[in-house]
Structure 1
Amino acid sequence: MDFIVQGTLQAVKALYSTELKESDINLQETRKEFEGEITIVTFPLTRFSKKSPEQTGSEIGEYLQEHRPEISGFNVIKGFLNLSLDSTYLLQVFSDTISNSAFGDIPSNGKKVMVEYSSPNTNKPLHLGHIRNNLLGYSVAQILAASGYEVIKANLVNDRGIHICKSMLAWQRFGNGETPKSSGLKGDHLVGKYYVIFDKEYKKQIDELKAEGQTEEEARKNAPLIKEAQLMLRKWETGDEEVISLWKMMNNWVYEGFDVTYKKLGVSFDKYYYESGTYLLGKDIIEEGLEKGVFFRKEDNSVWIDLTADGLDEKLVLRGDGTSVYITQDLGTAQLKYNDFKMDESIYVVGNEQDYHFKVLFLILNKLGKSWAQGLYHLSYGMVDLPSGKMKSREGTVVDADDLIDEMIDTARGRTEELGKVEGLPEEEKQNLYRMIGLGALKYFLLKVEPKKRLLFDPNESIDFQGHTGPFIQYTHARIRSVLSKAGIEKLEYIGINGVSPTERELILALSKYPSVLAESAKEFSPAQLANYAYDLAKLYNKFYHEEPILKVEDINIRNFRLSLSSVTASIIRKSMGLLGIEVPERM
């Protein structure tokens, strides 16, 4: 509301002979219990008026009402000046700006950003935690793209290490040549099965060694299986053809399985990085840091950085035998990503258990003088819990992503049929609707909460057509499309409307907020703000739908205006939900 800021600056100058800056004017949305739409906080202005907050507010309110045609009235509550916007002005804003098909579109800002998310291990299927990660990363990427950024969606696949060798060894020892095709299992589920088998067999061997008198620690180190896995890892690192061949075969099974899950979720990537191709890259950076005096070498030849002056501790960056640790690889990968894309910002979507790791990583890169390190950001998110007893996974410990997706679609089918919302729809459209609602419920429930918060995901609560849910918003969109379909036309002329009802006023103001909500979501890397905006908009439209006749109103201009208002609302809901990765149905 730039005209209010400018008007207030003019008022302060005219009334109190003081010139202020735009940043000196504090605007807020008027609280629902008071009349008006925009509130000016008058407390800071009293030092110029030398009067009480109430008197200052009244004087500025009178000035604005007299000099700004957009303001139709005002009231003062203590130190708050509440302004009412003129109906003619609101209609003009709706007609000229909000109803434009390009409303909310933001031109390129010339900046490039990478969003890295998913980062799965190739020894098991994706799980519930991965779902939050993927949905969050994909949505943030969509929001940034809509906000004018050039976005690269990246996936760093953890495809090497002892955990990968455990699955490989178990398949070699116990698999009898089983393949995804022969077993009927998705490749990632098959490999995950052998990771579990390794763990069970390893525990048996530990118990046997403990029974022979070894301590827990000794038994863990001496169990034949773990020794074989460690030998396999060493062979992999030296390029043993047989081990590499097995690794490629099983990883390909996993990638094919992941692709199916990603497609179900509706997420995608522009660039894949693989740890097998990046884990050695950090060694050059270690040498660079030693030359610059950022790192130091200990007697055992290991390389460290002292971060105690920064309130942290000493951190190992390279082992004494010259092998890399996790942060070595991340230093190299960060440099590689920048070399590849020269992006202005790089966002890592990783759970909050890695907060310390990223604090150290970014600090080291800054100390190394990497100018681009200022643009690194860890989008930390909390764990997802399920109500106890719901949807246990194959192993009984982690909720499998594919199981959860299928369960959501099944729940959507049952709930939708129960409510009779699919009567008369062709079978193919029904199945697509169940998928849309099930995934919409899952995505919305996980994205409506601020990323940093831990959340409890209840599948049944998420599919509620009357609650704070994705299906409620989807149903509202379908309701609007039904109204427009019955009218038979969307682009309508309306002239001679003298005013708007309170609900129409609310709806126009809510629609006008879309660009600012999008901008704030991009700034905070938070889909939650956009998700909650879509819900508030849907809720407001339902209020409008129940209070104001649309198709049955006699005045053709009012009818056309309300249809236009409905059409724009559907469009903004569709845009908002689309940026969350959620489809909205045309009918249900």
Structure 2
Amino acid sequence: MEFIIQKTIEAVQTLYNQTITASDISLQETRKEFAGDITVVVFAFTRFSKKSPDVTGQEIGEYLKQNVAEIADFNVIKGFLNIVIDDSFWINRYKVNAATPNFGVSASNGKKVMVEYSSPNTNKPLHLGHVRNNLLGYSVAEIIEAAGYEVIKANLVNDRGIHICKSMLAWQKFGNGETPASSGMKGDHLVGKYYVIFDKEYKKEIDILKEQGVSEDDAKKQAPLMVETQQMLQKWEEGDTDVINLWKMMNGWVYEGFDVTYKNLGVNFDKYYYESNTYLLGKDLIEEGLAKGVFFRKPDSSVWIDLTADGLDEKLVLRSDGTSVYMTQDLGTAELKYNDFQMDKSVYVVGNEQDYHFKVLFLILDKLGKSWAKGLFHLSYGMVDLPSGKMKSREGTVVDADDLVQEMIDTAAQHTEELGKVDDFSETEKTELFRQIGLGALKYHLLKVDPKKRIMFDPNESIDFQGHTGPFIQYSYARIRSVIRKSEGIEFTNVIPTVLTKDERELIQQLDKFPIIIADAAESYSPAIIANYLYEVAKGYNKFYHETPILKAEDEQLKKSRLGLSSLTADVLQKGMALLGIEVPERM
């Protein structure tokens, strides 16, 4: 509403001989209980008018109505100037939006953003926490791209370390040559199985040592399995051929399994980084920081940074034996990523348990004088909980991503069959529809909540066709497509309404917000903004559908213009859901 801002500036200048700027003006959507579209908060102008807020609002309102053709009327409620925009303005906005190719999507702004998400460990399958991470990261990347940025989707795979060696050693000792092919298991599940076996056997060894009088801490260190695992890690770091070959084979199994899960979730990546290639990075930065006085060396030769002046503490960046810590690696990897792509922003999608780590990482890079450090952002998100007993898990402790996806598809099938809406679908069509609904329910439920918040995920609740759910929006889209199919090829392109019902007007206003919503979601790194907007659009269309004749409109012009409005609504729902990684079925 730029024209309202400019004319309000003009009104204050004319009425009160005062110069103000756009930043002095506060606009809000008019509350639903009052007549109006846009509200100007006038309290700040009373110091110029020397009058009450109501009188000031009345004077500015009169000026705007007389000088702005698009303003049909106004009212003032306790210092809030509610402006009614003329229908002609909304009809013109609809005309422009309907004729805009790829409506809602911004042209390139020439800037580049990397979004790093997933970051799995290669010792176990992806789980429920990874599902939120992947869906959030993918959606944020899609939204940022729609806002005009070039986007690189990155995945830093944690493919080395003691946890990887635990699976490797357990497979060596207890696997009897089992492979994904011989077992019929996905490779990531098979490797995860041996990680669990390691843990069980390791605990047995600890218990035996404790019975012999060894303290728990010492037993954990002395247990033969742990000693062998440490030795295997050392051999890996030395490049031992047998260990490296075993590592490559088992990681290969895991990657094949991950690829299936990623495909099922509908996420992808442009660039993979591997910790096995990056774990030695960062030492040059430590030397650079020592030379600049950013770091200091303690008597035992370990290197630290003192962040107490920044409200934090001292942080180790290099051990006394010269080996890296995670912070060292992350410093080096951050520089590697920037050198590879020179992006303007870099978004790390990582759970909120790592808030402190990223605060320190970004602060250190800034102190090292890295100009690109200002563009680093940690997209911190909360955990996902499930109602007790709702879903089985492979290991009894975490919900496996593959199990979750299948459970959602099965639940979608059950709900849809009960409604009797697919009796005329072929089995192939049913399978595809259940997949779309199940995944749509899962994704929408996880993305409609602000990323920072913890989520309680109930599979059954998420598939409700009438609630604040993905399937409700999918059903609204399918309803529109059904209406358009029933129009039997009526040509409605470029047919513009001449008058508007209340529901048409409100729907056009909702659709007009789409580009702004995308920009806001990109700026906030929040798919929830898109998700909740789409719910309002779907609700608005259903109200319009029930209260306004479309195919039975009283004349051909009305029928065509309402089909056109339906089509633009479907376009916005389809594009918006795609930004969440959700497919919309043509019929349900």
Coarse TM-score class (shorter-chain normalised): over 0.9
Paired residues for 1:322-333 under 5 Å: 322-333=322-333
Paired position in structure 1 for 2:315: 315
Structure 2 contact 481–586 (Cα < 8 Å) conserved? yes
1:508 & 1:497 partners in 2: Cα distance? Answer: 11
2:418 is matched by which residue type in structure 1? E
Asked whether the 8 Å contact 1:138–1:267 carries over to 2, the reply is yes
Hey, what's the Cα distance between the residues in 2 that align with 1:494 and 1:111? Answer: 34
Secondary structure of the 1:213 match is: coil
Which structure 1 residue ranges, 4+ long, deviate > 4 Å from structure 2? 493-498
Cα distance, 1:493–1:463 mapped onto 2, change above 3 Å? closer
Give the structure 2 partner of residue 235 of structure 1.
Answer: 235
118-127 or 289-298, which moves further after superposition?
289-298
3-state SS of paired residue (2:156)? strand
Amino acid at match of 2:270: D
What's 1:225 paired with? 225
Map 1:141-540 to 2 at 5 A: 141-489=141-489, 491-492=491-492, 497-540=497-540
Verify the 8 A CA contact 2:91 2:498 in the aligned structure 1. Answer: no
2:379, 2:525 within 8 Å by CA — same for their partners in 1? Answer: yes
SS of structure 2 residue aligned to 1:159: coil
C-alpha distance in structure 2 between counterparts of 1:337 and 1:114, whole Å: 9
- TM-score calculated relative to the size of structure 2: 0.99
Q: Distance in 1 between matches of 2:24 and 2:308?
A: 41
**Distance in 1 of aligned mates of 2:444 and 2:160:** 33
User: 1:191 & 1:80 partners in 2: Cα distance?
Assistant: 63
Matched to 1:174, the amino acid is F
| 1:488 CA drift (Å) | 2.7
Structure 1 residue 493 displacement after superposition: 6.0
Is the partner of 1:350 in helix, strand or coil? strand
After superposition, give the CA deviation of every residue in 1:265-297 in whole Å (9 maximum; x if it has no partner): 000000000000000011111111111111111
Gap runs ≥5 in structure 1: none
Q: Match for 1:574: what amino acid? A: Q
Give the Cα–Cα distance (whole angstroms) in 1 for the partners of residues 497 and 296 of structure 2: 76
Q: Equivalents in 1 of 2:335, 2:292: separation in Å?
A: 17
Whether contact under 8 Å (1:180, 1:186) holds in the other structure is: yes
* Cα distance in 2, alignment partners of residues 217 and 480 from structure 1: 65
* 2:66 matches 1:69: no
Partners of 1:516 and 1:278 lie apart in 2 by 39
Task: Indicate the SS of the match to 2:105.
Answer: coil
> Corresponding residue for 2:584?
584
Is residue 490–residue 567 contact of structure 1 (8 Å, CA) maintained in 2? no
- In structure 2, what is the equivalent of residue 79 of structure 1? 79
Distance in 2 of aligned mates of 1:496 and 1:246: 67
CA distance in 1, matches of 2:245, 2:97: 60
Q: Which amino acid aligns with 1:578?
A: A
Q: What's the secondary structure of 1:84's corresponding residue?
A: strand
Question: Which of 445-454 and 48-57 deviates more?
Answer: 48-57
Distance 1:496 1:320, change over 3 A: closer
Output one character per residue of 1:193-248: Cα deviation in whole Å (capped at 9) or x when no partner: 00000000000001111111111111111100000000000000010100000000
CA contact (8 A) 2:444 2:469 kept: yes
Deviation, 1:497, is 4.9
Distance in 1, Cα, partners of 2:461 & 2:559: 36
Q: Which residue of 1 aligns with 2:9?
A: 9
Alignment partner, residue 123 of structure 1 = 123
Q: How many residues align?
A: 588
- Percent identity for Structure 1 against Structure 2: 71
Q: Give deviations 1:166-201, integer Å, cap 9, x for gaps.
A: 000000000000000000000000000000000000
Q: Tell me what 2:57 maps to.
A: 57
Distance 2:99 2:410 in 1: 38
Question: Structure 2 vs 1, CA of residues 99 and 491 (structure 1 numbering), >3 Å: closer, same or farther?
Answer: farther
SS across alignment from 2:510 = helix
Cα offset for 1:18? 1.9
CA contact (8 A) 1:6 1:22 kept: yes
Q: Measure the CA separation in 2 of the matches of 1:229 and 1:74.
A: 75
Q: Distance in 2 between matches of 1:495 and 1:303?
A: 70
**Secondary structure of residue in 1 paired with 2:398:** coil
> What is the Cα deviation at residue 54 of structure 1?
0.5
Moved more, 480-489 or 375-384: 480-489
User: Deviations along 1:448-487, whole A, 9 cap, x unmatched?
Assistant: 0000000100000000000100000000000000001111
Quick one: which amino acid aligns to residue 169 of structure 1?
Answer: L
Q: In 2, distance between residues paired with 1:183 and 1:497? A: 64
Q: How far apart are 1:494 and its partner, in Å?
A: 7.5
**Which amino acid in structure 2 is aligned with residue 415 of structure 1?**
H
Range that drifts further, 82-91 or 193-202: 82-91
Separation in 1, partners of 2:95, 2:306: 61
Provide the rounded CA distance (Å) in 2 between the counterparts of 1:264 and 1:353.
27
Letter in 2 for 1:505: R
The answer (yes or no) to whether the contact 1:126–1:400 under 8 Å persists in 2 is yes
Displacement of 1:97 in angstroms is 2.8
| Letter of the 1:253 counterpart | W
1:544-563 → structure 2 map (5 Å cutoff): 544-563=544-563
In structure 2, relative to structure 1, the CA distance for the partners of 1:268 and 1:434 (3 Å cut) is same
Q: Is the contact made by 1:493 and 1:557 (CA closer than 8 Å) also made in structure 2?
A: no
- 2:55 and 2:504 map into 1 onto residues whose CA distance is 32
* Aligned pairs (5 A) from 1:37-48: 37-48=37-48
The one-letter code of the counterpart of 1:189 is H
Q: Secondary structure at the match of 1:317?
A: strand
| Closer/same/farther in 2, CA of residues 11 and 489 from structure 1, 3 Å limit | farther
Quick one: structure 1 residues 370 and 490, their matched pair in 2 at CA, closer, same or farther if it must change by over 3 Å? farther
Offset at 1:95? 1.2
The alpha carbon displacement at 1:517 in A equals 0.7
CA contact (8 A) 2:95 2:494 kept: no
Determine if contact 1:491/1:564 at 8 Å carries over to the other structure: no
Cα gap change, 1:107/1:498 in structure 2, threshold over 3 Å: closer, same or farther?
closer
Secondary structure (helix, strand or coil) at the match of 2:390 reads coil
